[in-house]
Amino acid sequence: MEPIKPSHLRADLYRILDRVLDRGEAIEIIRRGRRIRLVAEAPTRLDALKPHPEAIQGNPEDIVSIDWSDEWQP
């Protein structure tokens, strides 16, 4: 895309931001002879992780020392 001027950005700010987010399109703005680039942050692999509240949280060494002999039935 051709770089835009700040006045064009101001006039269509929300439409331009939606285009960056929805299409993943980078937008360049020329201000005082320098380029400014608006880019949507790419999701990381960590963003895709789902919470597991049933998982044990804490020190694994605490689990090793638990006495399970009363629970175990051969």
Class of domain 1-41: alpha beta
Residue 35 has pLDDT above 90, yes or no: yes
Distances (CA, A) of 43 to 1, 3, 14, 52: 23, 25, 21, 20
pLDDT computed for residue 40 by the predictor: 92
Q: How far apart are CA 20 and CA 51, in angstroms?
A: 29
Residue 60 has pLDDT above 90, yes or no: no
pLDDT computed for residue 70 by the predictor: 83
Q: How far apart are CA 21 and CA 41, in angstroms?
A: 9
Residue 54 has pLDDT above 90, yes or no: no
Residue 74 has pLDDT above 80, yes or no: no
Where do the domains of the chain lie? 1-41
